[in-house]
Chain A
Amino acid sequence: MTILVLAEHQDTQLDEATAKAVSAAGRMGGDVHVLVAGSGCGAAAEAAARLEGVAKVLLADDPSLANRLAEPVAALVVSLAGGYDALLAPSTTSGKNIMPRVAALLDVMQISDVIAVEGPDLFQRPIYAGNVIQTVRSTDARKVLTVRVSSFPAAAVTAATRPIEAAAISADPARSSFVRSELSGSERPELTGARIVVSGGRALASAENFETVLAPLADRLGAAIGASRAAVDAGYVSNDLQVGQTGKIIAPDLYIACGISGAIQHLAGMKDSKVIVAINKDPEAPIFQVADYGLVADLFEAVPEFHATVAEKMRA
């Protein structure tokens, strides 16, 4: 079995998502190749060639692949598909954009957001926002799948490097053109990829409090900021920070819920976090039922104290 992993990268650097997708591919058994498609992306290909478990890297370096628009990248992957039993990408927004297009062109039913590989054709994936896990067997001869990166460890980086081959560039279908990209100016990490998330609920009571109470702690921890739906509905933060079933579904190493009661809607978005901390003044709040560490306290006192304590420890 040979598996092609579509790399997630920013041309000059390889994203960790790729290393995680490589380890997921490794669990299917067989040779793992990585396709780095982009423009001026040699550095990313070199990084991919150092990932443990990778047999070969395919480099598709062409201006038509800049910005990794779905139509040309999908056409490229389809043109290479003949040599592979499975095609895999991390379920980042880029992977989710491209892979279903690949699957349809190959007449394959994609398996989305795989969280566990049980065999070459047997996979676990969450449905209903992770409230239920489905185990599915693919009957397609060729598999197309995306994998949830938070479910797999990153493949190790080795000193040894694997061969990098140039891939033939297929014709650009030219069904879309890039206009611009606006990356969020915030120094804070992106909510979906952050290792630590500090999240606030309606108890924060204002937009200002998110900035003055929550943000210092988040910044001290290098954490992303999240929010409950109630806080978003109240207008304290924009809705791209919403954690929950209708917002972002995240699984950071540490999730700190401040003044969040723990509605089902919210729990669906964060319950896979490795460690959950809840700070809430209501000792009976449902959030404590899922928290590893609960602190019954007024967040307006506890969060600044948390910040001060961490600052002190870090100096020490």
Chain B
Amino acid sequence: MIHADDGILSQEQRLMRDSCRSFVDDVVTPFIRSNWQREWDMSPGERLPSAILEGAEAIGVRTLGVPEEFGGIDLEKETEVRTFALISEEIARGDSGLADKLVQNWKVSIVLRQFAPKHLQEKWFPRLLEDPKFLLAHCLTEPRGASDRWLPYNVPEASMHTKAVLDGDHWVINGRKQFISNGFDASLYVVYANTDPSVGMLQGTSSFLVPRGTPGLTITKCNETMGCRFMNNGELVFEDCRVPADHLLVKSTALASAGQYFRAGKIIQAAKNLGVGVACFERTADYVQNYVQGGRILIKHQAVALRLADMATRIEAVRSLVERAAKAVDEAHPDADILCNMAKVYASEEIMKVATHALELHGGNGAMLEFGIEKLFRDAAIFLHMDATVDVSRMKIIKNMFPATAGKYAGPES
């Protein structure tokens, strides 16, 4: 209970899960518990010591998604997304921000292995593998909108503001990207930009590889977020940022062809929040079995037991849906998109309730920064808004289920 059922996992998945759990229990959790102040360090680079990333590196979780021919690992293709989910959950059990830092690498590595020209894969994968601090970021969201805008009303007026124009053998990018996971720290960015203003965004958006340090790319700030603070969210400005023509990953149909890795990303993210829920449950179960009120341990008070049961039930329900959705993605089921969005919504809202119970059951201690429960609560809360808001995700569910009616563009306001 609470954790994944060993019976549905392959031997390799179980061993991977065990390694991740040991790493979290031995390294991540002790660090987080005894350094609770560090997430509030206002020098973003100082928050997470390099030893943690090096530890993640030692178990090989930073470079999932990198093909074996470049020194990465080829997971079993039939269960790859389920394996990603399992690992994401385990790491997030220790720290959701750390998990986020790492999973961005997987997500972008999948993009690179699918769309980057061979010579760029040969250039960047080895660098990613060599340097434990090498992070990747995926730049989609813009100040004017993100998931709310690309619902997708696939019309020119909904397209991205960031634009890329071909000038000789270079693309010139101009625009802003905000709320970018790993945006502040990444060494390499995948950037989405409009390349044809006359068509809808599914036909007119292209993706580019932009290395950090490219003239014209400025990382303007690290966003101080309420949760997941060990992942440094950033804002980027592109001012006549020139990248060689071969750095174009997907011409025009970048968003249309993004489905496959977007789906994996949704699962990874939902599983990450599930890990937060598991941490909430473990901490709370331990607490209520050890701490005494009125002469008996808390769990013997029925009001406490009922809340704990509610936490367990919600976690199991989220797990069932995440597993179902992950399987659908692995098997390219036609309903995969819908299930992914459902998993995102459910993992957001149910785990938020789990975290609320955890906070409540810890009494005053729940509100104390040094106790670490309020951190889980913040990590759960921020997820409501990560990887699309819950309401936008709901809209996508309905638009996918009823494309002819709900999915139809009603035209601009007159």
Chain A positions within 8 Å of B, measured between CB atoms, are 202, 230, 233-234, 262, 284, 286, 289
Interface contact B30-A230, CB-CB below 8 Å: yes
Contact B30 A284 (CB under 8 A): no
Give, as a whole number of angstroms, the nearest-CB distance from A72 to chain B: 41
* Interface contact A233-B30, CB-CB below 8 Å: yes
Q: Which residues of A contact B34 (CB under 8 A)?
A: 202, 234
- Contact assessment for A286 and B30 in the assembled complex, using a CB-CB cutoff below 8 Å: no
* 8 Å CB interface, B1-49 against A: 26, 30, 34
Top 8 A-B pairs, shortest CB-CB distance? A286-B290, A284-B291, A233-B30, A284-B292, A202-B34, A234-B34, A289-B290, A230-B30
| With A202-B34, A284-B290 already in contact, 12 other A-B pairs whose C-beta atoms are closer than 8 Å | A230-B30, A233-B26, A233-B30, A234-B30, A234-B34, A262-B290, A284-B291, A284-B292, A286-B290, A286-B291, A289-B290, A289-B292
Pair count A-B, CB < 8 A: 14
Most interface-central of A262, A286, A289 (chain B CB within 10 A)? A286
- Which residue of chain B has the shortest Cβ distance to A202 in the bound complex? B34
Residues of A with C-beta under 8 A to B30: 230, 233-234
Determine the distance from Cα of A194 to Cα of B192 in the docked complex, in whole angstroms: 68
Closest to A261 in B: B290
Interface size class of B (residues with CB under 8 A): under 10
Q: Which residues of A contact B291 (CB under 8 A)?
A: 284, 286
A236 vs chain B, min Cβ distance (A): 12
Complex interface: chain B residues within 8 A of A284 (CB)? 290-292
How near does chain B come to A15, taking the closest CB pair, in angstroms? 37
Distance between Cα atoms of A37 and B217 in the complex (Å): 79
Q: How far is the CA of A230 from the CA of B30 in the complex (A)?
A: 8
B52 CB, min distance to chain A CBs, angstroms: 15
Chain A residue at minimum C-beta to C-beta distance from B27: A233
| Separation of A230 and B34 alpha carbons in the complex (Å) | 10
- Closest A residue to B30 by CB, please name it: A233
Least distance between A204 CB and chain B CB atoms (Å): 12
Restricting to B288-331, which residues have a CB under 8 Å from any CB of A?
Answer: 290-292
Contacting residues, chain A, for B26 (C-beta < 8 A):
233
Looking at B26, B34, B290, B292, the one whose CB has the most chain A CB atoms below 10 A away is B290
A262 to B292, CA, bound (A): 14
Contacts of A202 in B (CB 8 A): 34
> In the bound complex, how far is the Cα of B291 from the Cα of A286, in angstroms?
7
Question: Which of A262, A284, A289 gathers most chain B CB within 10 Å?
Answer: A284
Which single residue of chain B is at the shortest CB-CB distance from A205? B34
CA distance A262 to B30 in the complex (A): 16
| Complexed CA–CA distance, A286 and B30 (Å) | 18
Q: Can you name the residue of chain A whose Cβ is closest to the Cβ of B290?
A: A286
Q: What residue of chain A has the Cβ atom nearest to residue B291's Cβ?
A: A284
Q: How far, in Å, is B291 (CB) from chain A's closest CB? A: 4
Interface residues of B in 342-389 (CB under 8 A from A): none
- Tell me the complex Cα distance, A288–B26, Å: 25
| A230 and B33 alpha carbons, distance in the complex (Å) | 11
Q: CA A98 – CA B292 in complex, angstroms? A: 47
Q: A230: which B residues are within 8 A, CB to CB?
A: 30
Q: Which of B261-280 contact A (CB under 8 A)?
A: none
A233 to B34, CA, bound (A): 11
Q: Which residues of B contact A286 (CB under 8 A)?
A: 290-291
What are the interface flags for B110-139 relative to A under an 8 Å C-beta threshold, 1 for contact and 0 otherwise? 000000000000000000000000000000
B26 to chain A: closest residue by CB = A233
- In chain B, what residue has the closest Cβ to A262? B290
Smallest distance from the beta carbon of A83 to chain B beta carbons, Å?
51
A234 to B33, CA, bound (A): 12
Q: How far is the CA of A246 from the CA of B145 in the complex (A)?
A: 54
Q: Which residue of A lies closest to B297 (CB)?
A: A289
User: Given the complex, which residues of A lie within 8 Å of B290, measured CB to CB?
Assistant: 262, 284, 286, 289
* Cβ of B227 to closest chain A Cβ, rounded Å: 25
| Minimal beta-carbon separation of B179 from chain A (angstroms) | 36
Q: State the Cβ distance, A30 to closest chain B Cβ, in Å.
A: 47
Provide a sorted-by-A list of 14 A–B residue pairs whose CB atoms are within 8 angstroms.
A202-B34, A230-B30, A233-B26, A233-B30, A234-B30, A234-B34, A262-B290, A284-B290, A284-B291, A284-B292, A286-B290, A286-B291, A289-B290, A289-B292
Cα–Cα distance between A230 and B29 once the two chains are bound (Å): 12
Alpha-carbon distance A284/B368, docked complex (angstroms) = 15
Q: For the complex, give the distance between the alpha carbons of A179 and B34 in Å.
A: 43
CB distance from B24 to the nearest CB of A (A): 14
Tell me how far the C-beta of B292 lies from the nearest C-beta in chain A, rounded to whole angstroms: 6
A294 to chain B, nearest CB (A): 12
Question: Within the complex, what minimum Cβ distance (angstroms) separates B51 from chain A?
Answer: 12
What's the Cα separation between A286 and B287 when bound, in Å? 9
Q: Min CB distance, A16 to chain B, in Å?
A: 36
Shortest beta-carbon distance, B347 to chain A, in Å? 30
Q: Kindly state the separation between the CA atoms of A234 and B34 in the bound complex, as whole angstroms.
A: 9
The minimal Cβ–Cβ distance linking B74 to chain A, given in whole angstroms, is 35
Residue of B nearest to A283 (CB): B292
The distance in angstroms between the C-alpha atoms of A234 and B35, with both chains bound, is 12
- Measured between beta carbons, the chain A residues less than 8 angstroms from B292 are 284, 289
Cβ distance A18 to chain B, nearest Cβ, rounded Å: 40
Distance to closest chain B CB from A161 (angstroms): 54
Q: B141: shortest Cβ distance to chain A, in Å?
A: 40
